[in-house]
Structures are given as structure tokens and as C-alpha cells.
Amino acid sequence: MDASQLALVFPGQGSQKVGMLAELGESYKLVKDTFAEASEALSYDMWDLIQNGDQQSLNLTETTQPVLLTASVAVWRLWCEQGGLRPSLLAGHSLGEFSALVCAGALEFSDAVRLVRARGQYMQTAVPVGEGAMAAVLGVDDAKIIQICAEAAIKGGVVEAVNFNSPGQVVIAGQVAAVDVAIEMLKAAGAKRAMPLPVSAPFHTSLMKPAGDKLAVALADIVVNAPSIPVVHNVHGKTESDPVVIKSLLVEQIFSAVKWVDCVETMVAAGISNTIECGPGKVLSGLNKRINKSLSCNNIDSPASLADALEATK
């Protein structure tokens, strides 16, 4: 395969689970070494948490974010160590964008681990627990969802379309009452499903602006370099080489919609025919295939899937 056809993608929150990467960690020292490096930055044993902890602890946003970033970076390092093809583009979903920037050499790993833990704390405290909600909507086109959210907001408060994950799959979020109103309106408009998600805050809404302000302060002290591999950003679905602009996009991303469909369409337009998902689960692989059926999608979270991905990109 030609390197220009390959993109590596990095998952966001929701892909974490107890026991993730266990086989990879037993088979490849580099995986545990990467987790040890992150554990040193955060002063707790991250590998022990993901192998022996409980799902509830793992699902705390301030824990989930560094854990998933570390898992993705470990898989990326393993891919490189095993002689995997260097991709021509990288992208990540929400938190995964930080993983992509680490792998592109734009962010130092230890800086990013601390940064995303803080990001998780900022996002969790921006809206008190119980006041925000998110819901997945299936079977309604994007424009109609945006329109219904605007109408529901008049009745119930803030509700916005926040994740454009694939055609016919959009996540909305906002204040509980407004999300409830929007769910009923979407069902009336013919949604196949409109169901609340088990999350603790309305991520990627304008309610997250205070978290963005805090992240901007934290980012001021972080060195960001021009990426050695272009990264497609969630906010606008384009690549960016200017470190100052990358910082501003990371801040904006917290309170802006994740335009994953745009990200994937940008990659396909650039000639990408294969994507490899680095980290636990196959969420992005499933979305990518729905966005463009011509894409060949692999994921890496075990020795077997690593071998498959290496073979698929020869």
C-alpha cells in the first residue's frame, strides 16, 4: 500500500473498558512502558486501574481522558516499532484529537496526559452533575436536527447538535429539560431512536465555554509544535500547521460540535482508502465505514488485530 492512502484515527470517550489492551500489554513491553510513563506524570498506576479497577472509576471523565490517550499512544508506538506504514493523515474524535497531536509530534506525551486530565476536570465542573444531558439521535437528517434543537431551546433552555458522527447518527446535548423537549420533538419528526446517553455532562455545547477558558490558560504554558503528520481537526474538518491556531482549535473544540463526518470526508478527498483505529474498540471504524463505504477499516487493540492491520497495509 502507498502511505498516501493510509490514515490513523484515535477514539474518544466511550471506548474505555476494564481489561483493555491486556493481551497487547502482556505481549509487548512497549505498551506497559507507555502506561508507566503516563502513570509517572499523574502519580498513580494507570495500568493497574485499567486491568483491575472498576468500570465506574474508569468512566470518570478526568480518568477516562488520560487513560484513552495513553492507550492510543501505546498502540501508535507499537505500530511504529513493528514497522507499520507511516500514515499521511491523523485524526481523533474529541479527546482523540489530543492523541493524534501527540503521535504527530505536536504535543509532548507527558504534557498531553496532564492536560487531558485537567480538561476532564474542567468539562465535568463546567455544568453541575444532573443539570446536563446528551442523547443519540438516529434517522433524522442534520439540518432537521439543528432546526428542532433551536425550537426546543426556546422552550427548555440550551440544546445543541454536538457530534455529527455519521449520516443519520447525531448526538445532541444541553440542559436536561431542553434535551427532553428535543427528544420528544425528534421522535414526532420520525427519529428511529432518540435516547439519552449515560454521560455526566453536556460535552461540546456552549455550556462548556468555562471549561474552554480554563483550558486556554492551561495551554498557555504548553509547547505546541507544527505536526510532522497533518492532523484533521474536529472543529472544521481541516488540517492546520500553525501551533498558535492549533491551540485555539483545542480550546474551541470543547464547546463546539465534533464534525467527524467532515473529518472523514476530508481524508477520503485527500486519497485515503484505509483507516486504522488505534486504541480499544471499533467505534470509529464503524462510523468511518458508514460515512464512506469504500473505506477499508482496521482497528488495533490486540496482538491479532495488530497482525491484521500490518498485513492489510503491506
Verify that 55 and 162 share a domain, yes or no: no
User: 190: how many CB neighbours lie within 10 A of its CB?
Assistant: 9
pLDDT at 81 over 80: yes
For residue range 251-273, what is the model confidence (pLDDT) as tens digits? 999 999 999 999 999 999 999 99
Among 144, 168, 199, give the residue marking a domain's end. Answer: 199
pLDDT at 187 over 80: yes
Mean pLDDT on 4-17: 94
Instruction: Output the pLDDT for position 201.
Output: 87
Verify that 106 and 174 share a domain, yes or no: no
Q: Using an 8 Å Cβ cutoff, are 208 and 123 in contact? A: yes
Instruction: Output the pLDDT for position 59.
Output: 87
What CATH number corresponds to the domain at position 211?
3.40.366.10
111 pLDDT band, cuts 50/70/90, is: very high
What average pLDDT does the structure give for the chain? 96
Among 199, 218, 251, give the residue marking a domain's end. Answer: 199
What's the half-sphere exposure (Cβ side, CA atoms, 13 Å) at 280? 23
Pairing of strands 6-10, 89-92: parallel
For residue range 121-154, what is the model confidence (pLDDT) as tens digits? 999 999 988 899 999 999 999 999 999 999 999 9
* Of 93-97, 128-132, 225-229, minimum mean pLDDT range: 128-132
pLDDT at 1 over 90: no
198 pLDDT band, cuts 50/70/90, is: confident
Q: Which residues are part of the catalytic machinery?
A: 94, 204
* Of 21-30, 127-136, 286-295, minimum mean pLDDT range: 127-136
Verify that 238 and 192 share a domain, yes or no: no
The strand ranges marked E within 104-148 are 132-138
Q: Which CA distances in Å does 220 have to 178, 235, 244?
A: 35, 20, 10
Verify that 20 and 160 share a domain, yes or no: no
Verify that 295 and 176 share a domain, yes or no: no
Distance in angstroms (rounded) separating the CA atoms of residues 59 and 18: 10
Split into its structural domains, the chain has a count of 2
Verify that 179 and 219 share a domain, yes or no: no
Verify that 175 and 294 share a domain, yes or no: no
Instruction: Output the pLDDT for position 144.
Output: 97
H-run or E-run covering 194: strand 193-196
96 pLDDT band, cuts 50/70/90, is: very high
Verify that 32 and 154 share a domain, yes or no: no
Verify that 273 and 137 share a domain, yes or no: no
Task: List the grid coordinates of 282.
Answer: 471499533
More confident residue, 61 or 273: 273
Q: Using an 8 Å Cβ cutoff, are 63 and 74 in contact? A: no
Instruction: Output the pLDDT for position 149.
Output: 97
Q: Using an 8 Å Cβ cutoff, are 288 and 295 in contact? A: yes
156 pLDDT band, cuts 50/70/90, is: confident
Verify that 112 and 214 share a domain, yes or no: yes
**What residues contact 180, with CB distance under 8 A and at least 6 apart?**
133, 156
Range of the domain at 75: 3-126+207-312
**What residues contact 255, with CB distance under 8 A and at least 6 apart?**
204, 205, 206, 207, 208, 209, 211, 212
Verify that 97 and 121 share a domain, yes or no: yes
Instruction: Output the pLDDT for position 200.
Output: 73
Does this model's pTM top 0.85? yes
Q: Using an 8 Å Cβ cutoff, are 230 and 133 in contact? A: no
Verify that 192 and 235 share a domain, yes or no: no
* Of 71-75, 194-198, 212-216, minimum mean pLDDT range: 194-198
Among 180, 199, 218, give the residue marking a domain's end. Answer: 199
What CATH number corresponds to the domain at position 171?
3.30.70.250
Residue with cell 498531553: 112
